[in-house]
Structure formats: structure tokens, C-alpha cells
Amino acid sequence: MHIKRSISVRNHSYQVEVPDACPICHRHSEIQVVGADVIDDGKAVQAIFRCAYTGCRQHFFCYYGPITSGVLVSVRPVKPVLSAFPAAVSTISPTFLSVFAEAEEAAQLGLNQIAGPGYRKAFEYLIKDYAKSISPERASEIEAKFAGAVVNDFVADPRIQAVAKRSLWLGNDETHYLRKWSDHDVSDLVTLIKLAANWIEIDHLSKSYVESMPEPKGA
């Protein structure tokens, strides 16, 4: 989300877009204008802002196109906001968490062509590591198979299977030249991966309680 702020460039005042929260501490604090000028032979504008929150006070740069547009092109630096996942997911697949975090960072830096395949790769780790947690004796077979075959052959829970298949459909769209699912995008892929992770946690926790608390004999 953006708000409008007024910057002064060579004694003229212009309205430009500014993030409505600090890109580093993410608080909705006051954004102070430090300075601005044209760059790149007048083709673009660079402005420096500062977060007014006393616990942050960090400076950041906003880049704009030609001065009259005021449209925000990019912000640097950005500290990414990373999603939290259930503890069971970090036990099953620590690699999923690290690859997903890289994809999220890419997305928040505006690197959308990189973020999509990153989410797809993260999901492959999640589904294969989950399958290995169910069938550890078949680990090398799971590692060698395509992710779609792993979902079909090793994921019995229909709720996980339903969201996992759709995650792969959208994930494959992110890595291919042509999209099949033009009404869905990366944000749908992220939602499906989070759903799959939550179902995996429910399945994992439920099984661990059934194992540690077997039905009493004669009950």
C-alpha cells in the first residue's frame, strides 16, 4: 500500500508515492522526507526518506520514473516479512522453510519472475519430505520421482492431496513459458502451499497422538 507525499526537486514540489509502512521495521510510522533529486540524466528521480519511529530511524531510498509521474518503481533496502509455519513443518522439512523464505524475500523485492519458481521448488521439498516422513524406507524412490507422482503414490490424505495437486499445477505455471491457469497467480500458489503445510501439521500431530496414546484394550 502506498500513500502520497510531497517532495521537492530543484525548487518544484511534486506528489509521489511512498510505502505506507517503513520497509525495514514495517511500522506505520511517520515517513520523513530527507531529500530528492533527478538521476540518470533526468530520466528518473531518487528520494531519501526516514522512518520516524524512535526504535528504527532508518533511511531508505525510493526510485521513481520521470519526475511528473510520481509512480514508485522500487524501494531499497527492504527487510522481508517472513511467514511463520507450524513447528511440525520445520521438523519435517527445514529445507522447505529456507527455500520458501528466499522466495518470499524475492517477492518482496519485486523479483516476481524468481519468486514463483522459488515457491514451486520450496513446495517440492515440502511434499517429498512429508512423503519420506510417512514412508522412510522408500526415501530414495521418493527423491527420484516427479513431485506429482509423489503426491499420487505417497500422499493418502485426500485434503493434502487436493491442495498439493493444485499447488503443483500453479507451481508448474511459474516455471513454464505459457500459463495454463491464467485466472490464478503467485498469491494463490502461496495460499495453497500454506494450506498444504497446515494439513500436513494436522496429519502429523494427529498421528503422533494416536501412536503415543493407543486405544485401551477392552474399551
Using alpha carbons, list the distances in angstroms from residue 100 to 131, 148, 151. 18, 19, 19
Which residues here bind Zn ion, judged by CB under 5 A? Answer: 22, 24-25, 51, 53, 56
**At its nearest, how many Å lie between Zn ion and the CB of residue 175?**
35
CB-based burial, 116-150: b 16+ in 10 Å, e otherwise: bbbbbbbbbbbbbbbbbbbeeeeeeebeebebeeb
SS3 196: helix
Query: DSSP string spanning 80-138?
Result: PPPPP--HHHHHH-HHHHHHHHHHHHHHHTT-HHHHHHHHHHHHHHHHHHHHHHH-GGG
Question: At closest approach, how far in Å is the CB of 110 from Zn ion?
Answer: 19
Q: For Zn ion, which is the closer residue by CB, 24 or 44?
A: 24
**CB of 194: closest distance to Zn ion in angstroms?**
27
> Quick one: 22 or 197, whose CB is closer to Zn ion?
22
Closest CB to Zn ion among residues 5, 132: 5
Q: Output DSSP code: residue 202.
A: H
Smallest gap from Cβ 82 to Zn ion, in A, equals 17
The three-class DSSP label of residue 183 is: coil
Minimum Å gap between C-beta 27 and Zn ion is 6
Rank residues 9 and 25 by Cβ distance to Zn ion and give the closer one. 25
Residue closer to Zn ion by CB (options 9, 56) is 56
Cα 126 to Cα 118: distance, rounded to the nearest angstrom = 12
